[in-house]
Amino acid sequence: MPFDAILPRPGVSNGRTLRVGSWLFLFADSNAEGRDQRPDGSLVDREDRTHKHGRFGDAEVAWMAETVEQSDAEHAFLWTHHPPGAFGFFHMADHDAEFARLIDMAPAIRGVGAGHTHTNTTLEVAGRPIHQCSSLSVNIDLENFTTMPPGYRTYQFAEDGSVSSEAHLVGEGHWPRSPLSKVTQRMLRGEISFEEMMDQLAAERAS
């Protein structure tokens, strides 16, 4: 993959695990829905991958469960792009189900840090907190259906296995909170697809 080819350099690693004290951090690939397998068995990203929902796939679930089982770390935490339990348009039941299966196989996993939804919400799936992080571009306030300033998250990992996380916004006074269009709100609620939203927006611009 291009990512693997250009990322590694002095001080930068693309290793898939990191041990810090009693914690094991796993960096998981949730892009099973956004790639195809070539005849030679290699994987290639699809052009429409950014609009696909998240899923680990059986091989990734097995890798995570085996890695946690073989580690002597007391606790594990998962970093990935697509969050299980995501809201509305972003939700994928298969992703929730495979995450629940993973927790049954690897109960030492204490939670997830994810992105993709451009929100700063925290929810729970299979008894584990799923922290979603806003991006450095356009973000969404799901309570008021407006845009939101850029942001990031900080985390604290305790020896007892608890995780606390706080969302932070950047430049609150410089980023207006603009209301989202009705059609965008419908898409986010899962009432229409992304493609239907784009078609309706195009029709509105053309009228």
Q: Over the stretch 71-127, which tens digit does the pLDDT of each residue have?
A: 999 999 999 999 999 888 788 889 999 999 999 999 999 999 999 999 999 999 999
Average pLDDT over residues 142-155: 94
**Overall domain count for the chain:** 2
Range of the domain at 200: 178-207
For residues 132 and 113, state if they share a domain: yes
Residues near 186 by Cβ (< 8 Å), separated by ≥ 6? Answer: 192, 197
Based on the fold, state whether residues 135 and 198 are members of the same structural domain.
no
For residues 194 and 115, membership in a common domain is answered with no
35 and 89: one domain?
A: yes
What is the model's pLDDT at position 89? 78
Is this structure's pTM higher than 0.75?
yes
Residues 102 and 203 in one domain: no
CATH code of residue 9: 3.60.21.10
60-63 contact pairs (CB < 8 A, 24+): 60/28, 60/29, 60/30, 60/32, 61/98, 61/101, 61/102, 61/105
Same domain as 39, residue 112: yes
